[in-house]
Amino acid sequence: MKILLIGTFASAGRPLLERFLQVPNEVMAFPGRFDERHVIKEIRDAEVVVGAPFTNSMGQSARQLRLIQNTGVGVDRYDLSSFPPGVRLCVSAHHGAAMAEYVIMVILAMTRRLLPFDSQFRQGKWDGSCIFNPLFTTRQLTGRTLGLVGYGTIAKEIAGRASALGLRVQAVKQNRSASAPPPGIDFLGGPADLHRLLAAADYLVVTCPLTPETDGLIGERELGLMKPDSYLINVSRAKIIREGPLYEALRRGQIAGAALDVWYNYPPGVQATTCFPSTYPFHELPNVIMTPHISSCTVETIEARWRDIAYNIEHLEAGSELRNEVQWSAQGAI
């Protein structure tokens, strides 16, 4: 079976794939900057493509392709209209626990002002110490409200951990059923309840997928509904929050702060180079925790994903049920 690994992330997983895969195979990796010409030469007789992108020319050249496997969970990087008819599409998850831990980490860090205290104390400054200023205090999490924009796998992992820390959890999701909220959730609403959630949340966490409906979902008006002492955390896709209004809200102190792990601009090449993640100088703001898309990256997440990928390739031959298969049409995921 011929397998193409497209892109740096997929290519880096080759040792794991070869460790877990039990069927005879020919693996070809295309790391770094995408070169469509080289890929097209090899895709004619390939049965599996792992990674992204996938172009119209690739779809037109593929003759034996049976599976397109994403190394992550989102399908927003794919133009589904380019897929050959009958090809199967699978994603790979296992990132919920890692991302939930990241969210709890940054919530605690922002609330207890961990980074500012660390920075100033390295300079010998004791500002904020209870020894010298017992009335200067930070907050606890107990009794405060965590709002989740989206209520899928990641949000559920976050909700369980947040509840254990004494936070009240509220959420909105695209398809809200009429049933009561699940245990541990104070409120579960639909898209029409977003403004209610924004006004109630002390911590607003964006976990919904990027779709035409959620692109730019949170802008100037929505940010204006948030509490001035609230925090925003985005671990989904940057474009769900409008770039300019978010920067201005943070610069003006309209909200207390943010932790951002997804960005508006990414390095174009194979190597990690100096590349600011936005046209706005978020890096100059003292109330922002900035991380370079790391929230899902743990050893456990990566190994579990490649086990799934190997499983799907092995079971493709038998026409068996595959893990995390996405039903799709040329118009989009179903």
At residue 178, does pLDDT exceed 70? no
What pLDDT is attached to residue 137?
A: 82
Q: How far apart are the first and last CA of the chain?
A: 28
At residue 202, does pLDDT exceed 90? yes
What pLDDT is attached to residue 66?
A: 97
State the average pLDDT over residues 210-233: 97
Q: For the chain, which domains are there? A: 2-94+299-333 (3.40.50.720), 96-290 (3.40.50.720)
What pLDDT is attached to residue 298?
A: 96
What pLDDT is attached to residue 125?
A: 94
Confidence of residue 273 (pLDDT cuts 50, 70, 90): confident
Whole-structure pTM value:
0.90
State the average pLDDT over residues 272-280: 88
Do the Cβ atoms of 255 and 246 come closer than 8 Å?
Answer: no
From the list 8, 2, 9, 6, the residue with the least C-alpha distance to 306 is: 9
State the average pLDDT over residues 2-16: 95
At residue 91, does pLDDT exceed 80? yes
Average predicted confidence (pLDDT) for the chain: 94
Tens of pLDDT, residue by residue over 42-86, are 999 999 999 999 999 999 999 999 999 999 987 877 889 999 999
Any residues with CB less than 8 A from the CB of 287 and at least 6 apart, and which?
250, 253, 256, 257, 258
What pLDDT is attached to residue 133?
A: 83
SS3 (DSSP) at 111:
helix
State the average pLDDT over residues 2-31: 94
State the average pLDDT over residues 128-133: 88
CA distance 89 to 67: 6
At residue 88, does pLDDT exceed 80? yes
At residue 272, does pLDDT exceed 70? no
At residue 136, does pLDDT exceed 90? no
